[in-house]
Amino acid sequence: MLIAIEGIDGSGKTTIANYLKDELEKEGFKVVVLKEPTNSVYGQRIKQSLNNRLDVNEELELFLLDRKHDVENNILPALENNYIVIMDRYYFSTIAYQGARGVDVDKIKEMNEEIAPKPNLVLILDVDPKVGVERIVKRGDEPNKFEDLEYLKRVRSIFLKLRDENVVVIDANRDINTVKKEVLNVVRNLIV
């Protein structure tokens, strides 16, 4: 099973991914959390550009190359070994973030679905961009170019338009324990 946890920066993706892993492992499942961008050469280039954004087409190409690497080296091998794979960001982030820079969202989706397996479940942790940026600052990080408030508003808008039978939007403005409980219920209903 492949679960993607998505949302703007500061929505709680990493916290929720690790929580889900812990809870599912307690129930006897083999679980792995994978984070994108990865530490591949492509992922490193993306991470190095956080405060000096690349041209949107170069950025998109790097995300696609990084994802192809992740699929071949991490995602598919884990799925083949009966792991539940939890993605801390996946191609829906590419759709939203590069789409907010003007790239056609349908084109991005199509390009990604040619190289990456479609998740069984996509959890979009929806948070007000102001709240997301406040959380980033509160944890001691300086917001980067991906975390500009106006930009995040456009990104959030795209995330909220990504409707599909496997997409569930979770209100992540609430306290983390409420969000955790709701996410776990959604995942358990899928597993049963």
List, for residues 173-185, the tens digit of each pLDDT value.
999 999 999 999 9
Q: Does residue 40 contact residue 66 with C-beta atoms inside 8 Å?
A: yes
Which candidate, 27, 6, 8, 9, places its Cα nearest to that of 17?
A: 6
Predicted confidence (pLDDT) per residue in 141-150, tens digit: 766 656 678 8
Which residues span the domain enclosing 84?
Answer: 2-191
163 band by pLDDT with thresholds 50, 70 and 90:
confident
pTM over the 0.85 mark: yes
Residue 53's pLDDT band (cuts 50, 70, 90): confident
Give ∠ CA 68-5-7 in degrees, rounded to 5.
Answer: 105
Q: Residue 109 belongs to a domain with what CATH number?
A: 3.40.50.300
Confidence of residue 52 (pLDDT cuts 50, 70, 90): confident
* Overall number of domains in the chain: 1
